[in-house]
Amino acid sequence: MELSVIQHTGEDTGKKVTLAQDIFDIVPNDHAIYMDIKHILANKRQGTHKTKERGEVVGSTRKIKKQKGTGGARAGSVRSPLFKGGGRVFGPRPKDYGFKINKKLKQLAKKSALTYKAQKGGIAILEDFVFDQPKTKAYVEMLNRLQLEGKKTVFVLPAVDKNIILASRNISRAKVMLVDQINTLDVLHAHKLLISETALEKLTHHFIPSP
């Protein structure tokens, strides 16, 4: 698949690049995508939920009424789960929801996501550029010229560029990441995946190592 290289101002440079078939044109594996997204979301969960049980709530240990003769059930403590303010039975405890998946499965999921994105025309290749200053206005202007105003975008860079990263930081639907930070969830959620020329080369080598 060939794509035209465009400037960040939206103008066509006249150059074309060929997307690697082994990355952008494979048979997508939906189950791999499901497992990878489940893995990402599970690892994001804090798991810090906690309620107090009867041994943890504050309250006297004095027997609140005599054992017999009241006509009601026995009661030994105000911290019992049966009373208001008592402990909770089998309440949630801190838990790590994260789990591991096979590295090759994760790679397959990323390739499948990139393939879907390429098939739907959701990838744009930008000519390498730099911002003189970290201005949000400059990044917004770039999105406007690319007709992506208000849409979710992921811009993939080959290396850290502080001006571009800082310029995009205050835009809620714009995300900037490096090649090795690409993940299935962000690729599929983005309306448009913007990849710089150098980042595309690095991405190809990342998924297809040189022999």
| pLDDT tier, 89 (very low <50, low <70, confident <90, very high otherwise) | very high
Nearest to 109 by CA among 39, 59, 16: 39
Helix or strand or coil: residue 172? coil
Q: Which residues of 103-113 are buried (b: 16+ CB within 10 A; e: fewer)?
A: eebbebbbbbb
Q: Which residues pair with 193 in a beta bridge?
A: 123, 154
Whether the per-residue pLDDT at 207 is higher than 90: the answer is no
Locate 182 and state its tokens. 């690409």
10 Å CB burial of residue 182 (0-12, 13-18, 19+) is: buried
The reported pLDDT for the residue numbered 12 is: 86
Instruction: Supply the pLDDT for residue 24.
Output: 93
pLDDT at 209: 65
* Distance (Å) of CA 128 to CA 122, 156, 179, 198: 19, 11, 14, 7
Mean pLDDT of all residues in 1-20: 88
Q: Binning pLDDT at 50, 70 and 90, where does residue 120 land? A: very high
Domains, the chain, in order of start with CATH, read 2-46+98-207 (3.40.1370.10), 51-91 (no CATH)
Give the pLDDT score at 211: 52
For 25-66, the pLDDT digits (tens) are 999 999 999 999 999 999 999 999 999 999 999 988 889 889
* 209 and 137 Cβ atoms separated by less than 8 Å: no
State pTM to two decimals: 0.83
Residue 48 is predicted with a pLDDT of 94
- Give the tens place of pLDDT for each residue, 145-168: 999 988 999 999 999 999 999 999
Of all residues in the chain, the percent with pLDDT exceeding 90 is 75
